[in-house]
A and B are shown apart, each in its own frame.
Chain A
Amino acid sequence: MKFTEYVKDRVWFYMIAAISLGLILLFLEVFRVNGQLVGAVSSIFLLFVVFEEIFCFNRKKHFYCELVEKLELLDKKYLIHEMLAEPGFIEGKLTYEALCEANKSMCENVNVYKRQSDEFRDFIEMWVHEVKLPLASLQLMAHNHGDELGEKFLEQLRRIDGYTDQVLYYARSENSEKDYMIKETSLKRTVANVALKNRESIQLCGASVETSGLDVSVMTDGKWLEFILGQFIANSLKYISPDREPVISISAEEDEEKVLLHFRDNGIGISEGDLPRIFDKSFTGENGRSYAKSTGMGLYIVKSLCDRLEHSVSAVSEQGSFTELTIGFAKNNYYKMA
């Protein structure tokens, strides 16, 4: 708040003051009061106005300047009332109380949605667990009595299972609670689990899997990592290049600060224009449109999960020759000791 702005804002008061001064002078003139007295009265009047304005300005300036300044600095602007001392003048008090009141009401409002979304998420989680029961049942039936159709049923059941897992992990990735568990996890075991789980799909596509340097442990949630790698495999199998034998190679490299897990396929690759956006929500891109059907959710969920686990994830690709996704796990010696 600048003084000039304040003065501009007070123009009504000055007009009233000027009119009253005019009226006083007029009366004094009418009653033929002595010129010196007129001078003294006007000076007192003017001095009073000037002092009053300066005093008022300073009092308000302190509160409002702080308000503006702190608002600018704050990341969560709705917390502004927490940063201010309660002012001593009435307008300031009213403003301050209004801020507190507005914030309280907003918190309540946000809580309503938070509760709703938590409830929804819990329901999804429960639903996914429920739907896995008939899935498990069908899978056993297809295995026990499937004969020739069994393998076809099983393939479709695996698809359903894949989609339900996507829903589950989407709900988990959007949730603010900590529902993962970081512990030392063997990359070799995790990769074997994922490969085994997807073996039939991999072999149906005639793809081969190569691994190297996986004798490393990383700090992560094993189940989440399995889901992430499952998404990578599903993508690789979706975008196979027709000109060559599909190969998926999974390798790890370790340095002092981190472990990098590379997941590379020799599929159709991703165009340069699409590459920066593959982790965006609902982004399907050229490949999603012209090859396999794509929801644009898989890699988005991967990215959110990695963000929550504090792993880095990146992609390099050359259209027509390969795609390589890399997950970076930070090393934390503190965790290891614990």
Chain B
Amino acid sequence: MSRIFIVEDDKSIREELAELLRNSGYEAEYLTDFSNSRADILAARPYLILMDINIPNLNGEQLLKEIRRESDIHVIMVTSRTSETDEVLAMSYGADDYITKPYNPTILLLRISAVLKRFAGVSQVQSYNGLQVNDAKGSLADGSREITLTKNEMIIFRFMLDRKGSIVTRDELMTALWDNDEFVNDNALTVNISRLRSKLADLGCEDAIETRKKQGYILR
């Protein structure tokens, strides 16, 4: 499980944020005393840091610089400063992503998983139920047969595969699709999922995607 460390001085935000992350299967910790931020963060050995810029004592950019000197933990800056200059500055200090407040929680989770995935490298799941998943070709193969998925189907399948066994909401799938420039509507999503279902069935995986009423889908 990935441990995420929250550096945020607004009590209400950090508590809600921690809850959001825990609900999504991450381990979340946060800083309550900012007098020794750098050492406390490094001691926690997190996998990823969500960092605000306006924090007491040392500001987030300085803190980022100092952390970068000693460690290459992934850092996402989360701030209410919305200017391009702030973003460019933060990225130049070594942030992995930059998100402005208020953020859509689903988008935030998507960005977190994108950063984690980007650095996880090959550990990404490459097979499902004996099927070979080829992201580059956008296809599924079981040794004898190969079925090509459309871009949308691949995005949906990839998203569900990374969260295999847990519920994926329509909202999350929609966010993932739109983030990839596929601006589909509700109906199109339903159609894409049923096509994906039948393609999986063709490869011998009947009932691979289970529908949970009012919640979403689970890839079994």
A135 within 8 A of B: yes
Residue pair A181, B105 in contact (C-beta under 8 Å)? no
Complex: how many Å from CA A206 to CA B186? 9
Complex: how many Å from CA A269 to CA B101? 33
Rounded to whole Å, the gap between the CB of B213 and the closest CB of chain A is 14
Q: Mark A127-138, 1 if CB is under 8 A from B, else 0.
A: 011101111111
Using a CB-CB cutoff of 8 Å, which residues 152-208 of chain A contact chain B?
157, 161, 165, 168, 179-181, 183, 188, 191-192, 195-197, 199, 203, 206, 208
What number of A-B contacts does a CB cutoff of 8 Å give? 98
Complex: how many Å from CA A191 to CA B179? 10
Secondary structure type dominating chain A contacts: helix
With beta carbons under 8 angstroms apart, the residue of B54, B88, B101, B185 that contacts A135 is: B101
Residue pair A209, B81 in contact (C-beta under 8 Å)? no
Rounded to whole Å, the gap between the CB of A248 and the closest CB of chain B is 9
Complex: how many Å from CA A215 to CA B38? 41
Complex: how many Å from CA A223 to CA B19? 29
Number of contact residues on B: which range applies? 20 to 34
Residue pair A136, B85 in contact (C-beta under 8 Å)? no
Number of contact residues on A: which range applies? 35 or more
Residue pair A209, B101 in contact (C-beta under 8 Å)? no
Q: Which residues of B contact A128 (CB under 8 A)?
A: 80
B70 within 8 A of A: no
Using a CB-CB cutoff of 8 Å, which residues 32-50 of chain B contact chain A?
none
A222 within 8 A of B: yes
Q: Which residues of B contact A143 (CB under 8 A)?
A: 20, 105-106
Residue pair A209, B183 in contact (C-beta under 8 Å)? yes
Residue pair B178, A181 in contact (C-beta under 8 Å)? no
B residues at A contact (CB < 8 Å): 10, 12-13, 16-17, 19-20, 23, 54, 80-85, 87-88, 100-107, 174-175, 178-181, 183, 185-186
A residues at B contact (CB < 8 Å): 128-130, 132-141, 143-144, 157, 161, 165, 168, 179-181, 183, 188, 191-192, 195-197, 199, 203, 206, 208-211, 214, 221-224
